Structure formats: structure tokens, C-alpha cells
Amino acid sequence: MPTLPRPHCDLYYEVHGAGDPTAPALVFAHGLGGNHLSWWQQLAHFAGRHTCVVFSHRGFASSPEAPGGPGLAGFADDLLALLDHLGLHAPVLVGQSMGGWTCTLLAAARPDRVRALVLACTTGAITHPELDAIFAAHLARGLPALPPHVSVAAGLRLAREQPAMNVLYNQVAALSPWLDRRAVMATLVAMRTVPLAALRGPLLCVTGEEDLLIPPSAVTWLVGHVPGARLHHEPAAGHSVYWERPAAFNRALAEFLAALPPAR
């Protein structure tokens, strides 16, 4: 079981794929409802050509954190250490929801280590008065009441149209039963500290029309304020487009990768 020793944590990771030297490596950072297992539908699609790395953030399944660890504040440093460990100089980072914080924090601190950034249903740690106002209005509206078997990160449509996938999503999330998800979400809000000017392209943002957690208007705003950024808006989909509509997500990611300028 491959792990990377980190302060107060052994970080679990997996490397998949043949690693075509002409194709950029892809590193996937999961959201609050996931772990390294979340990306199985992307691994099946991209590992034939790309080196693909998945990992569990500290404090999540397979990466338990000992008392006294930095928690979420250690996510970006963990990711940089993993890139160093694997010899990945500048991969494409793909961050889903919470994983967008990890990726934007690293991209802001070390832009030289990121070839391109994909933010899936997230604006990560980016802050700006206009963006903050969108989130404040969204939080004021509150979240709808959902049945116990429906995660806000999955949504009612997934449970209704793909019940087996909804069950699997819940099983993956249940592998980290100790998490206080409300506390994590509050910490993430407080960690929105990266100024917009620190975010550089190439950037692809993905959003779902029915996202209950990250309003599509916030993602659209971000794309409109980063030169050259691309937007994929998936209709009739919730917060986890990569899971709920994998074919559409994979196609959007593949088109983005194909359009990247040559590595320097």
C-alpha cells in the first residue's frame, strides 16, 4: 500500500497508467464526500495514455491523521510533497469541490509546479468581493432538506435516476466516518484567502446546473475573470459532475488537455 510519510500522517496514493511522455500527468484531488476511490471513472478513461495520480487527503480514508496535525491547512503542502516524491514537475491538477482548495492554494504558491488547473464544481480558495457576495447570497438561502440517503454533494437527481451510483457514492463517503463535515465546510469558507490575481491559466472550470453547494453563478463569474479560462456547464447535473455525468466530464477534460500549449 503506497504511502508518503508526512507530519502526523501517512498519505495514501496510487499511480495508474502507462505514462505516454507526450501526455501531461493528471493529479486528481477529491472532495469532502470522497477519497482516492472517487476517480474510478476518470482512471478508466485517461490511464490508457496519461499517468494518473489519485490520493486521499490527510484525515480521509487510508490517510488517517494523528492528533496535533495541521488538518486542512496541510493539504497543499501534502500535494507538493507528493509531486516531489513522484518526480512530477508540472502536472495538470484536477480538483473537485474541496480538492479545489488544495489545488488553488498550491497553484497560487507554486505556479511553476502546475501546468494547468481544472476546478470541478468549485472556486477553491479564491476570494474577491464580487465572488464573496455571490457566496454570501447563496449561504443566506440555505440548503434544501434532503432524504437521509441523499448527499448534498450527490443530489436528488442522482438518487432518482442512478440509484446504484447514489449508493456507491454514499459507501465511498462512509469510509471516513469520523469526519465532521460541517466543521470542514466552515474551515474551507475561512480558507478562501487566495486573491483572484494569483490564479493563472490554463484553467478549465466545470459546473453542474443543479449544484446545491457551489452556485454555478460563482463558477461562471470566475471563468469570466481569468483570461482564457474555459467553462463546461453540465445541464441537469448536481455538484458531482465527474461522478454523475462521467462521459461529459471526461470529454470536457480531454478537449481541454488537447488544447493545452506545448510544455516548456
121: left (phi over 0), alpha (psi -120 to 50) or beta: left
Residue 200: what pLDDT? Answer: 87
Q: How sure is the predictor about 263, in pLDDT bands with cuts at 50, 70 and 90?
A: confident
Domains of the chain by start residue, with CATH: 3-258 (3.40.50.1820)
Across 172-184, b (16+ Cβ under 10 Å) vs e yields: bbeebeeeeeeeb
pLDDT per residue as tens digits for the range 153-171: 999 999 999 999 999 999 9
Q: What is the mean pLDDT of residues 17-46?
A: 95
Q: Is the pLDDT of residue 123 over 80?
A: yes
Mean pLDDT, rounded, for 17-27: 89
Alpha carbons 100 and 125: distance in angstroms, whole number: 7
Distance CA 3, CA 76 (A): 16
Residue 262: the pLDDT is 84
pLDDT at 47 > cutoff 90: yes
pLDDT band at 104 (very low <50, low <70, confident <90, very high): very high
Asked whether residue 221 carries a pLDDT value surpassing 90, the answer given is: yes
What percentage of the chain has pLDDT greater than the value 70? 100
Query: What is the C-alpha separation between 62 and 50, in angstroms, rounded?
Result: 24
Confidence at 53, pLDDT banded by 50, 70, 90: very high
The confidence score (pLDDT) of residue 175 equals: 97
d(Cα 200, Cα 43) in Å, to the nearest integer? 26
- pTM for this model (two decimals): 0.97
Distances in Å between the alpha carbon of 56 and those of 136, 192, 200, 211, 218? 30, 21, 26, 23, 26
The type of residue at 129 is P
What pLDDT, in 10s, does the model give residues 222-231? 999 999 999 9
Q: How confident is the model at residue 19 (pLDDT cuts 50, 70, 90)?
A: confident
Q: Which of 134, 163, 165 is nearest to 242 (CA)?
A: 165
Q: Give the pLDDT confidence score for residue 10 in this predicted structure.
A: 98
Say how many Å lie between the first and final Cα of the chain, rounded: 34
